[in-house]
Structures are given as C-alpha cells and as structure tokens.
Amino acid sequence: MNNQPLSGKRYLVLGVANERSLAWAITQALAGAGAEVALTYVNEAIERRVRPLAAEVNSQVVLPCDVQSDESLDALFAELKSRWGTIDGVVHSVAYADKEDLGARFCKITRPGFRVALDVSAYSLIAVAGRAEPLMSANGGSIITLTYLGAQRVIPNYNVMGVAKAALEASVRYLAADLGLQRIRVNAISAGPIKTLAASGIPQFRELLAQFAVKAPLRRNITQDDVAQTALFYLSPASAGITGEITFVDCGYNVIGV
C-alpha cells in the first residue's frame, strides 16, 4: 500500500493559528500523506506561531493573508502562482465574529457585526475559490471548508456565526455547481465542538463540550485528528465522485432529536 498517496501534490491551507487549529491537524495529515503545503497567517502574532509549525512539516511557503482584503488575497495567489504554478487543493479553515455578537441576544446583532462575520466566515470561501480556480490544472482540484451544526439548528451563543455558516454551506453548493466543469470539487466538514482559539470566543463552550460527549452516539468528543482524516479523504482522489456535500464529523450528534 502507498503510504504517500498525495506525493507530488500541493495544497494551500488557510487558518492555522496554533497547534490546536483544525487547519494544523489537516496540514499534518496532508504532509504525512506526502503533500507539499503552503500556510498563511493573518497578522504578526499568528505568524510567530505559524512559522515554527510550518518548519515541522517542512513547508517552504508561508505567506500573509487577510481574507477581508482583496489586495491581500490577490498577492497570496500571485505568489503561489509564481512559486508553484498550480495547486491541487485548498483548505479554508477561517472564521471570525465579534464576541459581543455571539453572546448577546440574536435580535440585537449589529450591522457591522453581521457584516464582519459573514465577510470573514462565508464570503472568503467564494473569494478564495475564485482565485484558486485558475491555479488548478486540467485534473481539477479539491476545496474544503469547515462548518458547524449551528448553520442548520439553533445552538445557544452561536448566533451570528450560525447565519454565517448557513451562508457558507449554501456557498459550498453553489461553488460546487459553478466549478464542477473544471473538475474542481467543493465540500464542507461539519465538525463537532473542539477546544480551539476560535471556539474560546463562544460563551459556555465548556458546557457544550460536556453535553456533547454525553449525548453523541459515540459518547465522546471529536478530536482534531477525526476532522483531519475526513479532510484528507476529501482532499484526495479517493473522494473523486463527491462534491457539494456537507459531511458531519461529530460522533453522530446531529442525528439525535432529544
């Protein structure tokens, strides 16, 4: 059996902030499968954490990218084109909402808060996919993003991020339809709750984790590796016939009614 199935393939990963990031687990899985990985950082503080992690997986390409800026996205893809020419896939693992728009009443979400959450967490997938398309070869490619059950059901304290994730999930379907002719697949993983930097902004997240482990059919919490292994499947030719899907990696939590 080939244990380097992605050898010779190149992936862009957006969203590594630290060693707890889902994007970091996915990066390690990609590198373990023989792929080359480019990482991005949104600011200097994140850059200081990302560079040593990049070195761990021998990643030679570490570039700035703020998904709220078209100039920043253009510069990222121009640099990738000049370094690599083509890419085989993209991991979009980016989200942000102001803390006050998570904890407050839903009907009090502010216009700026709504705008920033939707811009960073949903529009950015469209912005990234549109720029990735010309870098993908005739063999196409695979784009994945990360979503959460709060897109489809009401989860306390998820609020504006639930609406952003609903827009993200709809964007996955529209992008899949738009990019299918180029053999570019677009899928999302709906992960169960995991303690990360982004999750720390959600009030009472600890309680959510505790309830999850009791109620999920598999009676445990999700790990970064659970997510990474499914991501690897979606980023590899093993999933060549799948696009536009939202796949729950949540120990079965989403099937439970009460």
Q: Which of 148, 174, 234, 253 is catalytic?
A: 148
Write down how long the chain is: 258
**In what helix (H) or strand (E) does residue 18 lie, and over which residues does it extend?**
none
158 carries an active-site annotation: yes
- 211 token code pair: 């309830």
Calpha distance 178→37 (Å, rounded): 25
Q: What is the largest CA-CA distance in the chain?
A: 55
- 77 token code pair: 């893809």
Q: Which of 41, 158, 234, 253 is catalytic?
A: 158
Q: Are 65 and 76 in contact (CB under 8 A)?
A: yes
| Residue with smaller CB distance to ligand NAD, 84 or 123 | 123
Interface pick for ligand NAD out of 6, 10, 11, 21 (rule CB under 6 A): 21
User: Can residue 126 be called a binding residue for ligand NAD (CB under 6 A)?
Assistant: no
| Residue with smaller CB distance to ligand NAD, 140 or 151 | 151
CB of 235 to ligand NAD, least distance (A): 15
For 65, the 3-state DSSP assignment is coil
| Residue with smaller CB distance to ligand NAD, 199 or 242 | 199
Interface pick for ligand NAD out of 84, 96, 114, 233 (rule CB under 6 A): 96
User: Can residue 66 be called a binding residue for ligand NAD (CB under 6 A)?
Assistant: yes
Of 100, 156, 144, 130, nearest in space to 236 by CA: 144
Residues 171-200, interacting with ligand NAD (CB under 6 A): 191, 193-194, 196-199
Interface pick for ligand NAD out of 27, 59, 93, 236 (rule CB under 6 A): 93
- 174 token code pair: 């529209």
The CA-atom distances, in angstroms, between 22 and each of 44, 94, 103 are 20, 10, 23
User: Can residue 249 be called a binding residue for ligand NAD (CB under 6 A)?
Assistant: no
Interface pick for ligand NAD out of 6, 12, 13, 17 (rule CB under 6 A): 17
Calpha distance 106→240 (Å, rounded): 39
Compose the 211-240 pattern: x for residues touching ligand NAD by CB under 6 A, - for all others. Answer: ------------------------------
What order do you get walking across the sheet with 246-249 strand by strand?
A: 61-64, 36-41, 10-14, 89-92, 141-147, 184-191, 246-249
Count of residues interacting with ligand NAD (CB under 6 A): 27
CB of 139 to ligand NAD, least distance (A): 27
- 19 token code pair: 């060693």
What residues line the site for ligand NAD (CB under 6 A)?
15-17, 21-23, 42, 46, 65-68, 93-96, 120, 146-148, 191, 193-194, 196-199
Q: Which residues are known catalytic residues?
A: 148, 158
